[in-house]
Amino acid sequence: MSLTVSDLTVARGGAPVLEGVSFTLPDGAALVLRGPNGSGKTTLLRTIAGLQMPLEGTIEGAEDRIAYAGHLDGLKPTLTVAENLSFWASVFGAHDGIDAAVEAFNLKGLTTRAAGALSAGQKRRLGLARLLVTSMPVWVLDEPTVSLDQSSVALFADAVRAHLAGGGLALIATHIDLGLEGEVLDVTPFRARPRIDPVFEMDLS
Amino acid sequence: MRALLLRDLRLAMRAGGGFGLGLAFFLIVTVLVPLSVGPRTQLLAEIAPGILWLGALLACLLSLDRLLALDWEDGSLDLLATSPLPLEMVLGVKALAHWLTTGLPLVLAAPVLGVLLSLPGAGYGWLVLSLAVGTPALSVIGMFGAALTVGLKRGGLLLSLLVLPLYVPTLIFGAETARRGAVGMEAETAFLMLAGITLGAVALLPFAAAAVLRVNLR
Q: With bands split at pLDDT 50, 70 and 90, how would you rate the model's confidence at A203? A: low
Taking the Cβ of residue B91 and every Cβ of chain A, the question of whether any pair is shorter than 8 Å is answered with: no
Q: Are A7 and A57 in contact (CB under 8 A)?
A: yes
Minimal Cα–Cα distance from B57 to chain A, Å? 28
Instruction: Give the best residue of A75, A80, A91 to mutate against chain B (max B CB count within 10 A).
Output: A91
Q: Which residues of B touch A67 (CB under 8 A)?
A: 82
**Averaged pLDDT score across all residues of chain B:** 92
Q: Are A172 and A30 in contact (CB under 8 A)?
A: yes
* pLDDT exceeds cutoff 90 at B180: yes
Q: Are A62 and A4 in contact (CB under 8 A)?
A: no
Instruction: Give the best residue of B9, B70, B71, B82 to mutate against chain A (max A CB count within 10 A).
Output: B82
* pLDDT exceeds cutoff 70 at A174: yes
* pLDDT exceeds cutoff 60 at A175: yes
Predicted confidence (pLDDT) per residue in B94-112, tens digit: 999 999 999 999 999 999 9
Task: Determine the structural domain holding residue B41 and report its residue range.
Answer: 2-217
List the Cα angle B6/B140/A86 in 5-degree steps: 20
CA dist., res. B102 & res. B99, Å (int): 5
Residue A55's SS3 state is: coil
* pLDDT exceeds cutoff 70 at A205: no
Minimal Cα–Cα distance from B49 to chain A, Å? 38
Q: Which chain B residue is nearest to residue A64, measuring alpha carbons?
A: B84
Lowest-confidence pick of A36-45, B9-18, B168-177: B9-18
Please give the pLDDT value at position B217.
84
Q: With bands split at pLDDT 50, 70 and 90, how would you rate the model's confidence at A202? A: low
Taking the Cβ of residue A55 and every Cβ of chain B, the question of whether any pair is shorter than 8 Å is answered with: no
**Range A5-18 average pLDDT:** 87
CA dist., res. B129 & res. B127, Å (int): 5
Predicted confidence (pLDDT) per residue in B15-46, tens digit: 777 788 889 999 999 999 999 998 899 999 99
Lowest-confidence pick of A95-109, A175-189, B37-51: A175-189
Record: contact B2-A90, CB cut-off 8 A:
yes
Record: contact B2-A72, CB cut-off 8 A:
no
What whole-number percentage of chain A has pLDDT above 90?
Answer: 24
Record: contact B78-A72, CB cut-off 8 A:
yes
CA dist., res. B195 & res. B109, Å (int): 21
Task: Report the number of distinct structural domains present in chain B.
Answer: 1
* pLDDT exceeds cutoff 80 at A197: no
Residue A72: which of B17, B74, B217 has the nearest Cβ?
B74
Taking the Cβ of residue B78 and every Cβ of chain A, the question of whether any pair is shorter than 8 Å is answered with: yes
Record: contact A79-B7, CB cut-off 8 A:
yes
Q: Which residues of A touch B16 (CB under 8 A)?
A: 78
Of the candidates A33, A69, A55, A67, the residue with the CA atom closest to the CA atom of residue A187: A33
Record: contact A90-B3, CB cut-off 8 A:
yes
Q: Which residues of A touch B76 (CB under 8 A)?
A: 74-76
Lowest-confidence pick of A136-145, A180-189, B31-40: A180-189
Record: contact B11-A83, CB cut-off 8 A:
no
**ipTM more than 0.90?**
no
Q: What contacts 24+ positions apart, CB below 8 Å, involve B155-163?
A: B155/B65, B155/B69, B156/B64, B156/B65, B159/B64, B159/B65, B160/B61, B160/B64, B163/B61, B163/B64
Question: Which of A106-115, A141-150, A182-191, B95-104: highest mean pLDDT?
Answer: B95-104
